[in-house]
A and B are shown apart, each in its own frame.
Chain A
Amino acid sequence: MDALYNFVLIYMVYFSVAVFLVGTTLRLVKIFRKPKQATSLQIYPEKRAKWLGAIYDTFLFPSARKHKPVLWVFLIVFHACLLLLIIGHLELFEEFKIFQLIPHEVFLGNGFLGLIFCVTLLYFLFRRLLSPVRELSVPEDYYILILLFLIAIFGSQMDWARSWYGYEEMVVGDYRTYLLNLLTLKPEVPYNVLIAGHSFMLVVHVFFANLFLIFFPFSQSMHSFLSLPMNKLRRG
């Protein structure tokens, strides 16, 4: 069992982070270095603040708000949760002063943020199962949603699972040791993390997260990076 835990929590993490970082960078460099489109792809009427407009379109999806308001609410909540969850995970490495404007322990909302995130994912899945989005979808679209759901449900419910053990096991300090070990290339999972009753949840969480990271550079998730340049093209 320990060998399996070690594999998922250490070696697979190294591998997937490497694929994610190298894959994403190489793919982006390759795409950005392709020849530029010679003609304008702008949509009119023209607005003056082109970059600002493109940023607005990229982060607030005004066209989604206009044409699919319900979906837009879920999209905004989903992306906001994603952002907060990423910040929350950074805090598992160490405390960042800037995030402590509102004093808190770890910015993960006691698992509730993850739950909300899961609800939005269920909504997206449900939407995909209905026509006409069903006809548009390809397997990758479902896989990504399911992967994210599994990552989030196991990740977020660890906090709840911890309450089974009276909040004694796997505390923030343990995570920090684990992640610091990873960062400083000391491939060792702390004892507390391995023996906790709900360790399996961490392993499952990390396992699916690894899969997601590996798939990311080759999937439509690359829209995270490509949305801004595309919106800029539309703005002119």
Chain B
Amino acid sequence: MDQNTRNDLLQLFREKLNSAMTYYLETCTRCGICTEACHVYASMGQVKHISAYRHEIVRRIYKKYFKARGKVWPSVGEAKELNETALEELYESAYSCTGCRRCMVYCPFGIDTQMIMSIAKLLLIGAHSEPEILTLLADTSIEKGKSLDLFKESFMEGVKKLEKDVVKKWKMEAGETAIPMDVVGADLLFVALAGAHSIIPTAAVFNAAGEHWTLSFFEAVNFGAFVGDPTRTQLILDRILNEAKRLKVKEVCICECGTAFRVMKQLAADQPFKVSSITEVHARYIKSGRIKLDPSKLNGPVTYHDPCQIARNGGVFDEPRYILKHLTNDFREMSPEPKYNWCCGGGGGLVALGEDTLDFRMKSARVKADQIKTTGVTTLVTACENCHTQLNNLNDHYQLGVNVKFLTSMVADALMQ
């Protein structure tokens, strides 16, 4: 690596060094309390997957270039040069961490591994060594935001075709629109995922609840966040923020996508609208009697997988359980304390990387598969697209024999007219 590249990368590193990040880099005592926290280590037993080992890979570079010690006495902290080998280590570390932050619950100081890994991810982008597909997907999303007029018509046509399926789930009066779009002054803007499976059931529930809603032109998923690029993350988010402001909505509701929800909740904290997850909105409808669910639709024991970004990192624990109480009387908790729930093993962009990561995803989530098996359920519910894909893969791989379902679809299927 030439000096110029190194300097550019160190500049990126420097930009990440706010107070919180500096606490995290200065403090780890390498006590090993976090050892068993990571599902990857718990499943595969390799020291390189212990969260403290992961941050030490970033920290060694920090010690080399951002601490006086790195010049005077580098060996005391095993400070390391930033070079090609270091980049390889950073890649391995960052793209085997799902950013689930389970280790943060274990650490006596609360060191945030996901935060530290964001340095690794940013350095990889700077060195053009990140998984290209993620950047490509992020750029496509950004492009879509810039040229809304070009695809608007075709998108609306596509959505129109879904309306008959929505009506099948919830009958409507003649003249009512099953999937409203571009409605100025709507109460709620729903940001879905690309795909009918995300739009149809939710639309039916909104209509059943008599919600004054509108569908966003953009998909919720934020590939910028997966690849750890703050600029792209913000640009992707801005598309939705601008739409919400243009339509003057009171609430932005994010579909079943953990990362999209957390990013929106965090980065849109001081916007003129509130941010909710679809699970919170559904629980609200049930509570206020706006929708009624038929509990007889579901047979057999049910468990719920808390998506890390929605539960431990987003604060939505009670709502899915409240909804499930209206759908089944055989609900079983997966983890005695939901904040300790194992990650499904698919976060941090790993599922988005598809087949390339499949083998690792299966091996690294053995503990998750065991956890599911122990519950003895037949239906496994979750509220995140990523988790859903990963749990389905686990179901096949470990032959768990469960039916993996989205909470939203279950609500839609149980609607009582």
Contact = CB atoms under 8 A, between A and B. Distances in A.
Interface of A: 31-37, 39-46, 57, 61, 63-64, 67-68, 71, 127, 131-133, 135-141, 143, 218, 220, 222-223, 226-227, 229-231, 233-234
A233 B77 contact: no
Interface size class of B (residues with CB under 8 A): 35 or more
B52 A139 contact: no
A226 B31 contact: no
Contacts of A220: 26-30
B18 A226 contact: no
Interface string B219-236: 000000000000000000
B56 interface: yes
B17 A34 contact: yes
B75 interface: yes
Given A45-B339, A67-B36, A132 B18 contact: no
A138 B109 contact: no
B150 interface: no
Nearest to A223: B27
Contact of B68 (A57, A61, A218): A218
Contacts of A133: 30-32, 35
Given A34-B17, A131-B47, A141-B30, A63 B107 contact: yes
Contacts of A141: 29-30
B315 A37 contact: no
Contacts of B31: 64, 71, 133
A55 B76 CA distance: 31
Given A34-B19, A43-B105, A45-B317, A230 B24 contact: yes
A71 B108 CA distance: 12
Contacts of B35: 132-133
B50 interface: yes
B315 A231 contact: no
B218 to A, nearest CB: 21
Given A37-B19, A67-B33, A44 B339 contact: yes
Which of B23, B115, B266, B267 counts the most chain A CB atoms within 10 A? B23
Contacts of A37: 18-21
Nearest to A141: B30
B184 interface: no
B301 interface: no
A63 B36 CA distance: 12
Contacts of B75: 139
Contacts of A57: 108, 110
Contacts of B24: 230
Contact of A31 (B26, B30, B112, B311): B26
Contacts of B50: 132, 135-136
B328 interface: no
A68 B30 CA distance: 14
A35 B339 CA distance: 29
Contacts of B294: none
10 contacts: A31-B22, A37-B18, A37-B19, A41-B112, A63-B106, A136-B56, A138-B77, A223-B26, A230-B20, A233-B112
A35 B14 CA distance: 12
Nearest to A60: B108
Contacts of B314: 44
A173 B395 CA distance: 75
B157 to A, nearest CB: 37
Given A45-B339, A138-B30, A140-B77, A39 B266 contact: yes
A68 B315 contact: no
B109 A223 contact: yes
Nearest to A66: B106
Contacts of A40: 266, 269
A41 B20 contact: yes
B53 A234 contact: no
Nearest to B17: A34
B105 A63 contact: yes
Given A37-B21, A139-B77, 6 more contacts: A36-B18, A63-B106, A68-B32, A143-B76, A220-B27, A223-B27
Given A43-B339, A231-B110, A233-B20, A137 B30 contact: yes
Given A44-B315, A67-B33, A143-B76, A229 B108 contact: no
Contacts of B32: 68, 127, 132-133, 136
Contact of A230 (B23, B56, B68, B311): B23
B110 A233 contact: yes
Interface string B105-134: 111111110010000000000000000000
B280 to A, nearest CB: 13
A230 B109 contact: yes
Contacts of A41: 20, 112, 115
Contact of B27 (A33, A127, A135, A222): A222
Contacts of A218: 67-69
B282 interface: no
